[in-house]
Structure 1
Amino acid sequence: MCFFTLRISPKIHCLVCFISVPILLWAFYLYSRGSVQNSIAIMRSDNTAAVMKTQTYVVEVKHCSNKDSWTVGNLLMPTGLIYAQPSTQRGRTDVNCVTNWNVPLVWEGTFDPVVIDAIYKKTDPRVGVMVFAVGKYTRFLKGFLETGEKYFLTDFRVTYYIFTDSEKDVPAVTLGEGRKITVLPVPSARRWQEVVFGRMKWATMTIDKQIRNKTDYLFLMDVDSLFYHRFGAESFSRLSAVLHRGYYKRTERADFPYERRPESRAYIPVTEGDYYYTAAVLGGYLEDIYNLVRYCYEQSEEDARNNIEAVWQEESHLNKYLLYNKPTKVLSPEYLWSDYDKVPADVKVVRISQLKKNYAEVRPNGGH
């Protein structure tokens, strides 16, 4: 029997080899496939964890369908334009003109208005300006609109989106070519804090549902202001923020009026901070402004659920957002001064300024 087995074993051996090779290859394929899938699953899990860690500061981007139709980056200039030759040796030396993340900090004397306006007029952006005129603040609309027509992005297409609880008080103002007013009704407010928080809510809803395909670049501004000098295309970038006039010179970051209570979603530790920005003027690509206002709205709602209100309402959440989502251009206090304050030597021109007013008289809860 053993002799017989030894004689036929070569044939059996060949047959076994013939059958086993495909089986081994198939098993190797299944093993490899399982390993790759496990690796992908692990990578996805790691990515998910990373995203969850950043949710505190980063807002999901919701792209506008017409985002590619206009960009700040198209720096094309018409031929034949006459302007002063730029210099690498002369310029502002009394102020800093660049941030530590290497974006412009814009002052008078750091740009040529002829060049900058010519470049961006060529891109022909649709500019929106949101202002809120609720209650007695409708009295400021006429001055804001009339001076805006004189100084704000003249010869650009501009739509003023006016949020108000009193449409009849929106004044008839002569507008330039390509410029118009759109009135959007909002409820009245019992507290002025409701108005400032409501700005982020109504801006978020309006962008999402009404103007996503109607505007390329959007500003949010306070209506109780007047324009005094050109406010031009030098303000354009993906996200432009304005330095608060009260804290731009020698204030230490520990002394910025950030929200310091850890219970608030606007909390910033005393060891962190770049600048203190005003919420009264900001601008940017529609989608970037949408991300900012939605963040501020959602974070303030989370605070409300926890029975807390940030120290400076939406401005506190704005500063938290801009600390971790850096603006691509910082505008000097020229872009929002106040009639209450003396103009210092480093502010060569006041482009827009907030008006003096009796807060106790114009605010619904007497300014408190």
Structure 2
Amino acid sequence: MAIFCDPQTRTRDSENAFRMELLEDVSLKRMLYEKPDTLKPPRTDVLLVTPWLAPIVWDGSFNIDILNAQFHQRHVRIGLTVFAIKKYIVFMKPLLETAEKFFMVGHKVNYYVFTDRAKEMPNITLANGRQLEVLEVPSYKRWQDVSMRRMEMIRDYSQKKFINEVDYLVCVDADMKFMDEVGVEILSDVFGTLHRAFYGASRTQFPNERRKASAAYIPPDEGDFYYSGSIFGGTVEGVHKLTNFCHHEMLTDKENNIEAIWHDESYLNKYFLYHKPTKVLSAEYHWENYPGVGTIIKKKRFVLIRKNDTAIRNK
């Protein structure tokens, strides 16, 4: 009996076989570490997994050595995006200097700084395998416009640039600094971060958009967590989907003369409600030096820099 193959199928099979030949052999190195105990969870004082089985990353819930080995095998490159518009340029020195000390140490990193003041960028010494690129963008009259336009710009650059240069994107606010290790434990298809002020709050306490006319509207009886707009990310494809959604919802509201209560953060929370993140970062990754936090926050990894908002935002 003769068997005939579709020429297109045969071509696809040949291409797939060729790609497999190009893959490097995976060399597994011996690692010694304490055996996980199924009867002894690493922490019992906090929620470690969401109802949709996404891990919630707290100190003590992961072994960074195992994770580093896995990500090194994949030769990943991580991009960090930040917007330094107007006077926010003053935050680039502490952000980048602390990132070199604590962010993705030992991995390849591309810093992407969007700014209207390229000439004021500080000179930062970078470790091997890490590079800084300044992307010049126009200024905006209001800080709210800067906050919301970043979704559009991250979306556009993800499609035409980032997809060709990095595997993951971490998108952060400028007025933050790293105070402890932030590594590959945060990486996933798409991740959100618990807001420092609402990680223990009820749904009715979340500052979501409550006007039904807004595209960012979330009913008071819905919501898993309240996510910060100060740090989010994922694969380039995952971030593109997130930012594209937020941008289009903003345009919808703009046509109706509506501006969501917390701007891009409101749309981010709407997205994560109906497109669940595959990983959630604890408030360790979005903190401020509050007194009296007890023992829940064991490490303050990514921290807000206190500032005079009026003096910085609109000048």
Q: With structure 2 as the length reference, what TM-score do the two structures score? A: 0.89
Query: Could you list the per-position Cα deviations for residues 169-217 of structure 1 after superposition, in whole angstroms to 9, with x for gaps in the alignment?
Result: 1111111111000111111121110110111011111112222211210
Kindly indicate whether residue 131 of structure 2 is the aligned counterpart of residue 180 of structure 1.
yes
Per-residue deviation, 1:343: 3.8
Aligned CA distance change for structure 1 residues 179 and 256 (closer, same or farther; 3 Å): same
Aligned CA distance change for structure 1 residues 269 and 159 (closer, same or farther; 3 Å): same
Amino acid at match of 1:144: L
Cα RMSD after superposing both structures: 1.5
Q: Which runs of 5+ in 2 are unaligned?
A: 1-18, 20-25
Q: What is the alpha-carbon distance in structure 1 between the residues aligned to residue 266 and residue 111 of structure 2? A: 26
The residue correspondences of 1:17-32 to structure 2 (distance < 5 A) are none
Per-residue deviation, 1:124: 1.2
Amino acid at match of 1:252: S
Query: Could you list the per-position Cα deviations for residues 225-250 of structure 1 after superposition, in whole angstroms to 9, with x for gaps in the alignment?
Result: 1111110111111011100111111x
Contact 2:87 2:313 (C-alpha < 8 Å) held by counterparts = yes
Kindly indicate whether residue 98 of structure 2 is the aligned counterpart of residue 137 of structure 1.
no
Amino acid at match of 2:303: S
The residue correspondences of 1:302-313 to structure 2 (distance < 5 A) are 302-313=252-263
Contact 2:162 2:236 (C-alpha < 8 Å) held by counterparts = no
Per-residue deviation, 1:89: 2.9
Which shifted more, 301-310 or 201-210? 201-210
What does residue 323 of structure 1 align with?
273
Which shifted more, 206-215 or 191-200? 206-215
Q: What is the alpha-carbon distance in structure 2 between the residues aligned to residue 275 and residue 95 of structure 1? A: 14
Kindly indicate whether residue 121 of structure 2 is the aligned counterpart of residue 202 of structure 1.
no
Kindly indicate whether residue 49 of structure 2 is the aligned counterpart of residue 103 of structure 1.
no
Secondary structure of the 1:206 match is helix
User: Which entry has the higher C-alpha Rg, 1 or 2?
Assistant: 1
Which of residues 99, 106, 116 is equivalent to 1:148?
A: 99
Q: What is the alpha-carbon distance in structure 1 between the residues aligned to residue 84 and residue 213 of structure 2? A: 32
Q: Which runs of 5+ in 1 are unaligned?
A: 1-68, 70-75
Q: What is the alpha-carbon distance in structure 1 between the residues aligned to residue 37 and residue 120 of structure 2? A: 49
Number of equivalences: 290
Q: What is the alpha-carbon distance in structure 1 between the residues aligned to residue 311 and residue 77 of structure 2? A: 36
Q: What is the alpha-carbon distance in structure 2 between the residues aligned to residue 145 and residue 289 of structure 1? A: 22
What does residue 208 of structure 2 align with?
258
Per-residue deviation, 1:342: 5.0
What does residue 311 of structure 2 align with?
361
What does residue 219 of structure 1 align with?
170
Aligned CA distance change for structure 1 residues 140 and 107 (closer, same or farther; 3 Å): same
Q: What is the alpha-carbon distance in structure 1 between the residues aligned to residue 27 and residue 54 of structure 2? A: 21
Contact 1:145 1:173 (C-alpha < 8 Å) held by counterparts = yes
Q: What is the alpha-carbon distance in structure 2 between the residues aligned to residue 223 and residue 342 of structure 1? A: 26
Q: What is the alpha-carbon distance in structure 2 between the residues aligned to residue 89 and residue 150 of structure 1? A: 36
Secondary structure of the 2:93 match is helix
Q: What is the alpha-carbon distance in structure 2 between the residues aligned to residue 184 and residue 331 of structure 1? A: 28
What does residue 92 of structure 1 align with?
43
Secondary structure of the 1:301 match is helix
Contact 1:77 1:119 (C-alpha < 8 Å) held by counterparts = no
Higher helix share: 1
Aligned CA distance change for structure 1 residues 205 and 349 (closer, same or farther; 3 Å): same
> Identity of aligned pairs, percent?
42
Q: What is the alpha-carbon distance in structure 1 between the residues aligned to residue 179 and residue 35 of structure 2? A: 27
Secondary structure of the 1:334 match is helix
Secondary structure of the 2:229 match is strand
Secondary structure of the 2:228 match is strand
Contact 1:78 1:118 (C-alpha < 8 Å) held by counterparts = no
Query: Could you list the per-position Cα deviations for residues 249-274 of structure 1 after superposition, in whole angstroms to 9, with x for gaps in the alignment?
Result: 1x221221110101100011111111
Secondary structure of the 1:143 match is helix
Q: What is the alpha-carbon distance in structure 1 between the residues aligned to residue 57 and residue 100 of structure 2? A: 22
Contact 1:339 1:355 (C-alpha < 8 Å) held by counterparts = no
Per-residue deviation, 1:327: 0.3
Secondary structure of the 1:337 match is coil
